[in-house]
Each structure stands twice: as structure tokens, then as C-alpha cells.
């Protein structure tokens, strides 16, 4: 978000002019990589409670070693910019076994509605 980036650069220059006063931003992507852009539904939808309870599906195939993280707008931006609270805070779960991971079911990786479509990573 342009507002957040320009605000951060302005704050750095204002609050630490000896360190950042001569810095300039030379480039900024017009379209940043959003956290969620598209949602494609597989034959199985992995739920956070499955990870917490350690429920393992029969077609488990790929271990993940990261925790669940949920992002919420920071309160002060929700009040000031209710239509676009552009800075968020994250809450992280602590339920994933970092050494062994949690196995994601194969059915999460292909589309239930589009034939011959396999998904991985950000869509």
C-alpha cells in the first residue's frame, strides 16, 4: 500500500535524519504481492482446528513447518481508515511441530471445480 510505504519512509527520515535523511525511495511496485489474491477450493479444506488437534488425513503428503497466522487491521488504522485499514498485526499459533511439521492432504492441492488444475503456493 502506497500510503503505508510512504508513511514509513517519511517517518524514518523525520525521526532519524542523521541516519536516513539523505535516503530516497527510487522504486515501488505499483501492485504489491497481496497476502491473498485468489482462493481456489480443493476437494478438502484444511482447517486450523485439524492442525491443532493433530488430525492426519489418509492422503497427507506434504509437511508444513510453519504455524497458523491470522492478520487483523491495527486498531488505530481501523478507526481512522475504516474502509482501508492498511497496516495489520499478526497473531501466530504455536501448534505446529517445527521438527516434523503437519502433513497437508493431497486433496488441498487440486481444484474441485476446474479439471486438471493443480495448485501450490500463493494463487
Measured CA to CA, the distance from residue 71 to residue 91 in angstroms comes to 6
CB 96 within 8 A of CB 52: no
3-state DSSP assignment of residue 90: strand
Alpha helices in the chain (DSSP H): 2-15, 17-20, 48-53, 75-80
pLDDT tens-digit readout, 74-119: 888 778 777 776 677 778 877 777 777 889 999 999 999 999 988 8
pTM: 0.57
pLDDT tens-digit readout, 36-78: 667 788 999 988 888 888 899 999 998 888 878 777 788 887 7
CB 51 within 8 A of CB 101: no
Amino acid at each position: 500500500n502506497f500510503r503505508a510505504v510512504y508513511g514509513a519512509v517519511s517517518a524514518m527520515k523525520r525521526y532519524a535524519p542523521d541516519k536516513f535523511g539523505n535516503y530516497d525511495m527510487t522504486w515501488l511496485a505499483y501492485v504489491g504481492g497481496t497476502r491473498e489474491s485468489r482462493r481456489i477450493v480443493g476437494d478438502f479444506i484444511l482447517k486450523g482446528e485439524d492442525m491443532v488437534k493433530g488430525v492426519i488425513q489418509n492422503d497427507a503428503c506434504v509437511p508444513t513447518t510453519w504455524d497458523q497466522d491470522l492478520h487483523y487491521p491495527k486498531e488505530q488504522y481501523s478507526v481512522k481508515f475504516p474502509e482501508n485499514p492498511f497496516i495489520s498485526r499478526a497473531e501466530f499459533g504455536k501448534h505446529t511441530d517445527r521438527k516434523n511439521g503437519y502433513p497437508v492432504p493431497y486433496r488441498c492441492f487440486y481444484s474441485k471445480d476446474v479439471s486438471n488444475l493443480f495448485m501450490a503456493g500463493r494463487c
